Amino acid sequence: MRSLFTGVLLSAIALLGCSTQKKAQTSDGWISLFDGKTTKGWHSYGKPAAGEAWKVTDGTLFLDAVANKSSYQSKGGGDLVTDETFGDFHFKYDWKISKNGNSGLIFWVQDDTAKYKEVWHTGPEMQIIDNDGHADGKIVKHRAGDLYDLIASTEGVVKPVGEWNHAEIISSKNKLEFILNGVTVVSTTYGDASWNALVAGSKFKTRPAFAKVPSGHFALQDHGNEVWFKNIMVKRL
C-alpha cells in the first residue's frame, strides 16, 4: 500500500510539473524566461546561481552595480546566463540603462568556463549603452542596438537614458536580425564568407570559438553599471 501511494503521489507531482511548464509557454509558443519575482532559470557565468548583485525590483531584473577595482564587472554580479540553451529563436526583451552605463545582450554563449573565460569569447552581442554618456557610445559599431563591433545599427531609434527600449533578436536559418523599438536596425547572414570577414575584421578575430556555434545560452551583461531588464521571452523556431 505504501509503494502504491508513493507511486500515485509521484505521478501527481509529475502532472503538476507538466501543468506548470505549459503555463510558462503561451499558446503561440512564447516562453517567459523571467517570472518577475525571482532569478529562477538564470545563473552567473561560472557559478551555480545568480550573483547577489542581480536583484528583482518592481518586476524588473536589476543589476545593482557595485564598484570592484579588480574587475570591470560588479562585485557579486557577473554576466547572468540562462540555464537553458536555444538554437533558432526569436528573443525579445525590454531594457533600460543607467546614465553613462554600458551593458548588452549576448547570445549563442557556450557555458564552459574551463574553455572560455568570458561569455563574449563565444557569443555575439546586441549592445546596450548610454550613447551620449559612455565613451563607447562615440565608437562606430559600439552604439546601442549595434551588433557589437561587427555591424552598426540604424541611428535615431534608441530612447533616452531612463526610458525603456523594446528589443528583439531573431536567429534562424543563417539569418540574424535585430529589432529595436519596432525598427529593424541590423539584418545580416551568419556562417558564410561575409560573416567570417566581419569577425576577422573585429576585436573577436583572436577568439577562435567566437560565433562558431549558432546555438547556446543568452546572457545579460554585467559591465559594472546599473541596468534593468523585463519582459524577457523567447520562441523556438
> Do 198 and 113 share a domain, yes or no?
yes
Supply 64's cell numbers.
Answer: 545593482
What pLDDT is stored for residue 69 in this prediction? 58
Whether the per-residue pLDDT at 22 is higher than 90: the answer is: no
> Do 178 and 202 share a domain, yes or no?
yes
pLDDT tens column, 174-188: 999 999 999 999 999
Tell me how many domains the chain contains: 2
pLDDT tens column, 90-146: 999 999 999 999 999 999 999 999 999 999 999 999 999 999 999 999 999 999 999
Question: Cβ-count burial of 177 within 10 angstroms (0-12 exposed, 13-18 middle, 19+ buried)?
Answer: middle
> Do 138 and 225 share a domain, yes or no?
yes
**Per-position DSSP letters for 25-66, written without gaps between them:** B-TTSEEES--SS--TTEEETTSSS--TTEEEETTEEEE---
* CATH of residue 217: 2.60.120.560
> Do 56 and 13 share a domain, yes or no?
no
pLDDT tens column, 190-204: 999 999 999 999 999
What pLDDT is stored for residue 27 in this prediction? 77
